């Protein structure tokens, strides 16, 4: 198990445990089951609901993570939190959520999430600027067919839960 702590400015920090799958100097990979108070809806379509599974790839040198999301039928998409690079502590790691998120469907279409909340968030100027830069970078990698990053694709090919979709 690995502890994950996320701080979102203006909100309480959250901490939870996930099943540790891999941990090296590039990334920490863990798996979890979504437990949501209500389904996650994008463009009037439920994309994530309680019972879906996720594999979280927390890239240690990046300002974002990648979550591969699965339902009972297989791969349904990628979700990325734009956040500070993780900092380790005994038994886990922590990061600051920079509010902007990105959903990427299996066909490569994407949706930027939480823009209004980002506009209103109490972020340091450097974090706000970095979040916007990272979002632009991620959109570019999607358009160029380089999302998710190679590290995620490489480990994904070896992981039994990741035999679906673009992985």
Please state, in angstroms and rounded to a whole number, the distance separating the CA atoms of residues 135 and 100: 8
Please state, in angstroms and rounded to a whole number, the distance separating the CA atoms of residues 86 and 53: 22
CATH value at residue 21:
2.40.380.10
In a domain, 149, yes or no: yes
In a domain, 51, yes or no: yes
In a domain, 117, yes or no: yes
pTM assigned to the model = 0.89
Query: Total domain count for the chain?
Result: 1
In a domain, 110, yes or no: yes
In a domain, 166, yes or no: no
| pLDDT of the residue at 10 | 76
Please state, in angstroms and rounded to a whole number, the distance separating the CA atoms of residues 167 and 164: 6
Please state, in angstroms and rounded to a whole number, the distance separating the CA atoms of residues 67 and 53: 10
Please state, in angstroms and rounded to a whole number, the distance separating the CA atoms of residues 87 and 92: 9
In a domain, 150, yes or no: yes
Please state, in angstroms and rounded to a whole number, the distance separating the CA atoms of residues 137 and 156: 22
Q: What angle do CA 99, 29, 16 make, to 5 degrees?
A: 60
| pLDDT of the residue at 156 | 61
In a domain, 33, yes or no: yes
10 Å CB burial of residue 97 (0-12, 13-18, 19+) is: buried
| pLDDT of the residue at 44 | 86
For the chain, list residues with pLDDT below 50.
160-167
In sequence order, what are the residues at sequence separation of 6 or more whose Cβ sits closer than 8 angstroms to the Cβ of residue 124?
none
Residue with tokens 């992981």: 159
Please state, in angstroms and rounded to a whole number, the distance separating the CA atoms of residues 91 and 122: 29
In a domain, 95, yes or no: yes
Identify whether 23 is preceded by a cis peptide bond (ω within 30 of 0).
Answer: no
Q: Which domain holds residue 147?
A: 2-160
């Amino acid at each position: 198990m690995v502890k994950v702590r996320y701080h979102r400015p203006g909100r309480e920090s959250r901490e939870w445990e996930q099943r540790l799958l891999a941990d090296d100097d590039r990334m920490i990979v863990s798996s979890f089951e979504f437990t949501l108070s209500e389904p996650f809806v994008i463009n009037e379509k439920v994309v994530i609901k309680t019972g879906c599974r996720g594999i979280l790839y927390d890239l240690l040198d990046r300002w974002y993570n990648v979550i591969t999301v699965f339902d009972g039928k297989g791969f349904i998409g990628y979700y990325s939190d734009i956040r500070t690079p993780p900092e380790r502590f005994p038994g886990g790691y922590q990061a600051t959520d920079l509010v902007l998120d990105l959903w990427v469907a299996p066909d490569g279409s994407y949706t930027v999430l939480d823009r209004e909340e980002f506009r209103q968030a109490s972020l340091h100027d450097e974090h706000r600027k970095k979040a916007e830069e990272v979002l632009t970078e991620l959109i570019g990698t999607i358009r160029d067919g380089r999302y998710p990053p190679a590290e995620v694709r490489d480990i994904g090919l070896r992981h039994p839960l990741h035999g679906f979709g673009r992985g």
